[in-house]
Amino acid sequence: MRIAELGQAIGRTVELEGWIVSLRKSGGIRFLGLRDGSGRVQVVARESDLREDDWDRTAACSQETAVRIAGACRADARAPGGVELDLRKIEIVGASAEYPIQPKEHGVDFLLDRRHLWLRADRQAAILRIRHAFTHALREWLDREGFIGADTPILTPSACEGTTTLFETTYFDEKAYLSQSGQLYNEALAMALGKVYCFAPAFRAERSKTRRHLIEFWMVEPEMAFCDLDGCLETVEELLSSALAAVARRCPEELRLVGRDPAELEKVRPPFPRISYDEAIEILRQEGLEIPWGEDFGAPHEAAISKRFELPVFVHRYPTQAKAFYMKPDPDRPEVVLSADLLAPEGYGEIVGGGQRIDDGELLAQRLREHDLSDEDYEWYMDLRRYGSVPHSGFGLGIERTLAWVLRLEHVREAIPFPRMLYRLRP
């Protein structure tokens, strides 16, 4: 039986396997905290109830000792989960040496060096359960809406978003690069399957050490044929709000433990506010953060814009020069593109980037030349404009950045089991 299921076992004696998180002694009674990955429960050991060897074993229960126990399950309104166990038998499965992570403040480098153990902490395990519930809910919405999950390659012969931040490797006799986005391949798949998504790790060799950057991060990237910018933004809204509502429903206790009231997530409902890049520039001017028209926003700019809104806010129609080569120009105003970024509230910055792609072959060829991208590398991508080109749009939603906002994390590093950051490749 697992701890999460104990509510169904009241009045019965059950067997559990797990790890000791705490031991408190009080005369002839010992209180053991037990976790098994599904939850946490208090086990009460009474000297008077136990055989001597079982009682002696409870004394050996240092932090993280692995045990197998039998206990009588009873309701206790004050206990987390509403149940408590009275110990009947205990067996030590694996002893634990002095556990390096104590219930005190450790420095973050100390903890990151021990990430393989730190993951066992209540807060870290709760974050991972929420991450699972969130990614599960994202897929669930996409699958229900008829999207086909299709895996795009990690090893690619050319760069999607510029060449300065690529990881390079030798692929037999040539160079290959780790993917920064599945988008270009997604576009081919959308022409075959209509609505698709990839859900995969992406890699950016950025020498930046901010609370928003991971070298290896996960993204979900939907791509839709016959879809314009408006359709794209509606998809972002529906996907994100439905996934957050699912997380609020499925992980209320974990959310509270991490410090987010589930009711706040349920308030994230469409429509999200939409402002143009030009309107954002005006906000920045008012805030004393003026930047020249045409430049992209940095973290302070995004924070200044998003603090005006309670919901995530779309900033659309960025200057063409600030965005990637494949963005479709606004037909009414070709100096801006039909793109949008979604900025999270509370200063957490960009969590979604996307928009409508160029569907005109001649314009795409011109853009490739302007960006000095090789014809040969993009010949296949040009084919998508030669054989039944259609309006199409898509976006990428960053998992860790979104979780950082949802869980009010100080740093994205806690949102992934084994973060990869500048100079941090271990454990």
Residues 156-175 that bind a copy of itself (CB under 8 A): 156-157, 167-174
Query: Smallest distance from the beta carbon of 100 to a copy of itself, in angstroms?
Result: 8
Per-residue x/- mask for a copy of itself, residues 68 to 87, rule CB under 8 A? x-------------------
Instruction: Decide: is 363 part of the binding site for a copy of itself (CB under 8 A).
Output: no
Positive or negative, the Cα torsion across 171, 174, 178, 183? negative
Q: Are 60 and 95 in contact (CB under 8 A)?
A: yes
Least spacing, CB of residue 198 vs a copy of itself, in Å: 9
Mapping DSSP to helix (H, G, I), strand (E, B) and coil, where does residue 149 land? strand
Q: Taking the complex as a whole, how short is the minimal distance between the CB of residue 308 and a copy of itself, in angstroms?
A: 34
Residues between 12 and 31 that touch a copy of itself (CB under 8 A): 17-20
- Least distance to a copy of itself, CB of residue 293, Å: 33
Residues 237-296 contacting a copy of itself, CB under 8 A: none
- Which DSSP state fits 392? E
First-to-last alpha carbon distance for the chain, in angstroms, is 32
x/- map, 102-141, a copy of itself, by CB under 8 A: ------------x-xx-xx---xx--xx-xx--xx--x--
What angle in degrees, to the nearest 10, is found between the helix axes of 361-370 and 375-386? Answer: 160
* Nearest in space to 341 (alpha carbons), one of 312, 367, 364, 320: 312
String marking each residue 391-410 x if it binds a copy of itself according to CB under 8 A: x-------------------
Q: Is 64 a binder of a copy of itself (CB under 8 A)?
A: yes
Shortest distance (Å) from residue 220 CB to a copy of itself: 12
Specify the residue, 306 or 389, whose C-beta has the smaller distance to a copy of itself. Answer: 389
- Distance between CA 44 and CA 216 in Å, rounded? 44
Binding residue for a copy of itself (CB under 8 A) from 42, 235, 389, 402? 389
φ, ψ for residue 39, nearest 5 deg: 175, -165
Q: Contact at 8 Å (CB) between 71 and 85?
A: yes
Distances (CA, A) of 79 to 23, 75, 85: 16, 8, 10
CA dihedral 341, 345, 351, 354 (to 10 degrees): -20
Give me the least distance between CB of 294 and a copy of itself, in Å please: 31
Give, as ranges, the residues between 185 and 224 that touch a copy of itself (CB under 8 A). Answer: 185, 188-195, 200-201, 203, 205, 207, 215-216, 218
Chain positions 28 to 47 lying near a copy of itself, rule: CB under 8 A, are 36-38
Please select the residue that binds a copy of itself; options are 23, 41, 43, 65, rule is CB under 8 A: 65
Tell me: does residue 313 bind a copy of itself (CB under 8 A). no
| 319/333 Cα distance (integer angstroms) | 10
Cα separation, 308 vs 346, whole angstroms: 10
Contact 18, 37 (CB under 8 A): yes
